[in-house]
Amino acid sequence: MNKIRKGDEVIVIAGRDKGKRGTVSLRVDADRVLVDGINLVKKHAKPNPMKGIQGGIVEKAMPIQQSNVAIYNKASGKADRVGVKTLQDGTRVRVFKSSGEEIKA
């Protein structure tokens, strides 16, 4: 079970964007996630009149390691770890380690 999923609000805990928050928009692979507004880089884009793309320098979000982000707990206002709890009916849910409350995704 993935502890960080698409749509989760995360906070960066390591790297040049440390302390910034954003929403996971895509899981690139098993250990990399794409977070809105985090890890922005400048890319040089060639103009393509057929697609309507104007050339120049554009900012683009790049994937970040999953180990460098932690799920954000709104109740405490801090980063938190994720645990997995099995309910009575056999379903598994993600919970915050600090409080034990279920994560609403």
Which run of H or E residues covers position 61? strand 56-61
C-alpha 15/C-alpha 2 separation (Å) is 22
Confidence of residue 2 (pLDDT cuts 50, 70, 90): confident
Long-range contacts formed by 49-57: CB under 8 A, 24+ apart: none
Is the predicted pLDDT of residue 1 greater than 90, yes or no? no
pLDDT tens readout for residues 40-83? 999 999 999 999 989 999 999 999 999 999 999 999 999 999 99
Question: Is residue 26, in this structure, part of any structural domain at all?
Answer: yes
Burial 56-82 (b: 16+ CB within 10 A, else e): eeeeebebbebebbbbbbeeeeebbeb
CATH number at residue 44: 2.30.30.30
pLDDT tens readout for residues 3-51? 999 999 999 999 999 999 999 999 999 999 999 999 999 999 999 999 9
Domain that holds residue 73: 9-77
What pLDDT does 12 receive? Answer: 97
* Tally of domains in the chain: 1
What pLDDT does 93 receive? Answer: 94
Question: Is residue 97, in this structure, part of any structural domain at all?
Answer: no
| Rounded average pLDDT over 82-101 | 94
Question: Is residue 90, in this structure, part of any structural domain at all?
Answer: no
**CA nearest neighbour of 79 among 31, 12, 33, 2:** 12
Confidence of residue 105 (pLDDT cuts 50, 70, 90): low
